[in-house]
A and B are shown apart, each in its own frame.
Chain A
Amino acid sequence: SQTIHQWPATLVQPVGSPLSLECTVEGTSNPNLYWYRQAAGRGLQLLFYSVGIGQISSEVPQNLSASRPQDRQFILSSKKLLLSDSGFYLCAWSAPGTSQETQYFGPGTRLLVL
C-alpha cells in the first residue's frame, strides 16, 4: 500500500529565515505530487504540482519554490520566510495518468513564522 510522509510535523521560524519541507511517497512509482497551503480559516491553496522528476508547475507567484530531485521526493523551499507564509502545508500524491485524479494527503507540516 502507498504511504506519504512529511516532516517536520511542526516548525516555528523567524521572519527572513530559510525553509525546507520534505515529502516522500512509498509504494508507488512516478506519482503526481502536490504542495498545498491551508491558512487559518481558509481553503486549500495549490502551490505547486509535479508530474515527474524535475517537472514543477507553479500555481501562485510567491517567495516559495519546489523541487523534485527523486521520483518520490518533493521539497518545498524558501530563501526568506514572510509572516504570511504561516499555515498548514500539505503534500499530496495521485497516481499517474489523466483518469486518476484522486489525491491522497500526507499528515502535513504546521508552520508558524514569527
Chain B
Amino acid sequence: QKEVEQNSGPLSVPEGAIASLNCTYSDRVSQSFFWYRQYSGKSPELIMSIYSNGDKEDGRFTAQLNKASQYVSLLIRDSQPSDSATYLCAVDSGGSNYKLTFGKGTLLTVNP
C-alpha cells in the first residue's frame, strides 16, 4: 500500500525563522509531488508542485525533491503568523489513475 509519511508536529517556530516540513513516500514510481496548506476549518489549498529533483522556489516557499531518497520537503522563509496551518504532502500514485496519496499533515505554528 502506498504511504506518505509526515511528522505530525506540532512544529513551532518564531516569526521570521525558517520552517522546514518533511515528507517521505513509499512508491518509487511516483513522479508528481504537491504541498497543500490547510487552515483550521478550511479546505486544502495548493502551495506548490514539484516534479524534478532539486529545488523549486516560489516567493518565500521552496520545495525540495530527492527521488533517490524518496523525500520531499517544504521550506518557508521569513515565517509569518499567517503561515500557521496544517501542511499536507501529496504524491501521485504512479501510472495513469489520476490519484494522489496524502500524508496526515504537519501542524505549523508561527509565534509572533
Contacts and interface: CB of A to CB of B under 8 A. Distances in A.
B98 A101 contact: yes
Measured as residues with beta carbon below 8 angstroms from the partner, the interface class of chain A is: 10 to 19
Interface string A25-52: 0000000100000000011101001010
B44 A43 contact: no
B92 A101 contact: yes
Nearest to A94: B98
A51 B104 contact: no
Interface string A103-114: 111111000000
B96 A43 contact: no
A114 to B, nearest CB: 20
Interface string B39-56: 000111110010000000
Contact of A102 (B49, B102, B105): B49
A102 B46 contact: yes
Contacts of B45: 105
Contacts of B92: 101
Interface string A1-43: 0000000000000000000000000000000100000000011
B32 A90 contact: no
A58 B105 CA distance: 24
